[in-house]
Structure 1
């Protein structure tokens, strides 16, 4: 586990919003702390009854999401996946609590099955692989159209006005070992992203079941973002049709007045 955390490159562009929270936790783990104890040390006091606990505290036969909802204890394994999940709880507690509330509500209504319903599926997609993008309208138009050449080449200067914050803990985990196909499910920001707290408060309010079941997310291969990966400075990077795929024929979903 210590070796895995030591492999995290805190200088990577996508980890800029996470470094202040994550690097001290990672340093504790490298020195020998378990993941749950390092996260708990970062949490400290003042967050109600929320705690990070060993995975062994999750009773057999109890759904993970339901246990968190009932106890406000987050079972945590010693691996990168749960390390990043814990960082998201630290950085976006309101949003994570909202996701957990909706998961528990869906479990109470439908039970736990091998195939999730539409709401639980959407919650899982965002929780594991979501990101939030604040960008000028032309970038969103090109992204919705999957017009990758326009998005990343013709409109490249506009990316200096955009900000993408990764949210999904599985997405963050995958980027420890970056690969070109890694793709986020992106949600459009409609509020200030000047701080994690303001983004957290806004996003927690946005997560309504009626929006989520429509899956208001757009796929974005994140290593295509200018400044995020040296390889994309050569524009042939975007010619890979297995990664930068054409838009489906069906209409894109929308959320409120802004298309996603």
Structure 2
């Protein structure tokens, strides 16, 4: 027990704050722009698939075919979004991923804030573009269905834990070797699978940015805190668990991912 506490303490000591000068560094700005574009691509494809399905069938996205369509669209969209941003920003595309990497000492607080701002803006712009290009069709916001708010909170924690754990295992772990090549595929697949598991209950956000854009554009904030608190808790837990138990602590902190 003492050794576990010591490992956690050492890991927390690796958390870096950074400084405000990072907001002006060319590399950080380029990375933020990459996060903005990647998140825009992902949200436009994911939310757009829901709008298109509603228009074509008149059925809600929580119907069985709707869940399958959402799962495929989000899995493919995230695969591309992570792949195109990986060499520039690491392809986080998600404040929960960024937060999970921060608590693991893999990104500074200031750079993380810059990423999260870019991700939120990318989501909002994607939803505004969807509203414009579809002639003002409703942008569906995330909502609970048939579960209590606390059940939804735990749902989002567990699903996001799985997502960020996958990110660590395939993209962050210095021992990943060749498996890092398939990281975008694995990350897209776990999101698609989680949508099939939790989409009918919470919408399976796992991503505060994905929830924020539709909520702002449609101005629907009911239980919106769940889509921030759940993913951030799940992402943070995944970062701590993977770093403490599985990563060799001799590796250099603050990796480019």
The TM-score by the shorter chain falls in which range?
Answer: under 0.3
**Which one has the largest radius of gyration?**
1
Q: Decide which structure has greater helix share.
A: 2
Q: Decide which structure has greater strand share.
A: 1
Q: TM-score if structure 1 supplies the norm length? A: 0.27
